């Protein structure tokens, strides 16, 4: 049963350890929108410059962002998402959808995304196997580490 003091091994936790610090996901939002310059990030996110600098270093080290020079003289840089970084977009979209649904009344959404199908993009999480929308209660978690179980029926 391993060291019983360790928390549950979990990819959610691991992902959050990387991008879960304050501002990191907002950085991803901005770079995914194409706003990758330092001062843009500062303004659009509202983060302290020093902290933003730390976050950017971490995200670059993690292979989620790249730092690109867009001007040699004077040297100017811009951050862009790597492929791995772009793949965080589903996370951003589900976060945004939740906020739109629960934190705002009706139609004051600050941003609407248009899908290339022509409709407004309302993201839905589906099962890749059957294509159905994933609802709570229609799935069963199976921990694969000895000693780690789930308790009750996951109900509300």
- Residue 69 CB, shortest distance to its own copies, in Å, is 15
Whose Cβ is closer to DNA: residue 37's or residue 109's? 37
- Which are the contacts of 75, defined by CB distance < 8 A and separation ≥ 6? 69
**Nearer to DNA among residue 22 and residue 101 (C-beta):** 22
Tokens of 61: 């080290």
Q: Does 29 bind its own copies (CB under 8 A)?
A: yes
In this chain, which stretch among 46-54, 94-102, 122-130, 137-145 interacts with DNA, using CB under 7 A? Answer: 46-54
80 binds, among DNA, its own copies, none (CB under 5 to 8 A by kind): its own copies
What is d(CA 14, CA 96) in angstroms, rounded to the nearest whole number?
A: 21
Do residues 148 and 8 make contact, with C-beta atoms less than 8 angstroms apart? yes
Whether the CB-CB separation of 40 and 30 falls below 8 Å is answered with yes
Residues of span 133-152 touching its own copies by CB under 8 A: 134, 136, 138-145, 148, 150-152
Token pair for 136? 């709570």
The residues of the shown chain that bind DNA, judged by CB under 7 A, are: 21-23, 37-40, 47-51, 53-54, 56, 67, 70, 73-78
């Amino acid at each position: 049963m391993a060291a019983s003091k360790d928390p549950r091994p979990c990819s959610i936790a691991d992902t959050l350890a990387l991008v879960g610090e304050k501002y990191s996901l907002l950085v991803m939002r901005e770079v995914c929108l194409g706003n990758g310059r330092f001062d843009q990030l500062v303004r659009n996110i509202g983060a302290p410059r020093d902290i933003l600098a730390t976050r950017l270093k971490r995200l670059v080290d993690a292979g989620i962002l790249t730092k690109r020079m867009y001007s040699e003289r004077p040297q100017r840089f811009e951050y862009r998402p790597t492929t791995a970084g772009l793949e965080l977009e589903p996370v951003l979209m589900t976060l945004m959808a939740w906020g739109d649904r629960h934190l705002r009344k009706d139609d004051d959404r600050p941003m609407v995304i248009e899908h290339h199908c022509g409709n407004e993009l309302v993201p839905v999480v589906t099962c890749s196997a059957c294509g159905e929308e994933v609802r709570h209660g229609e799935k069963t978690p199976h921990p694969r580490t000895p000693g780690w179980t789930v308790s009750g029926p996951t109900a509300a």
